[in-house]
């Protein structure tokens, strides 16, 4: 199982993750990242998810695999 962890104190709303994988990530009204669909994170290719997480310039995203 894949769980995405967001460190909201590090997110500045650059939106790189959204550009990389909009079916999983979006920005809220305060320009913070939110998960659109946690189940989608389970179905996208792991390389796509890894790339989206790595695209964050502030390292606000992390993947926990269990």
Q: Where are the alpha helices (DSSP H) in the chain?
A: 16-20, 38-43, 46-54
Region 8-13: mean pLDDT is 94
pLDDT at residue number 20: 96
CA distance 37 to 15: 16
Domain 2-65, second-level architecture? 2-Layer Sandwich (3.30)
Q: Between 6 and 38, where is the model more confident?
A: 6
pLDDT at residue number 30: 87
pLDDT digits 0-9 by tens, 20-59? 999 999 999 988 999 998 888 888 999 999 999 999 999 9
pLDDT at residue number 38: 82
List Cα–Cα distances, 43 to 31, 36, 47, 54, in angstroms. 25, 13, 11, 18
- pTM equals 0.88
Helix, coil or strand: residue 16: helix
Domain range summary for the chain, segments of one domain joined by +: 2-65
Find all residues with CB under 8 Å of 42, minimum gap 6, and list them: 1, 2
């Amino acid at each position: 199982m894949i769980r995405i962890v967001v460190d909201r104190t590090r997110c500045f709303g650059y939106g790189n993750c959204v550009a990389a994988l909009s079916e999983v990530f979006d920005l809220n009204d305060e320009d913070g990242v939110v998960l659109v669909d946690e189940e989608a994170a389970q179905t996208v290719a792991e390389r796509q998810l890894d790339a989206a997480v790595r695209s964050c310039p502030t390292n606000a995203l992390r993947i926990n695999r269990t």
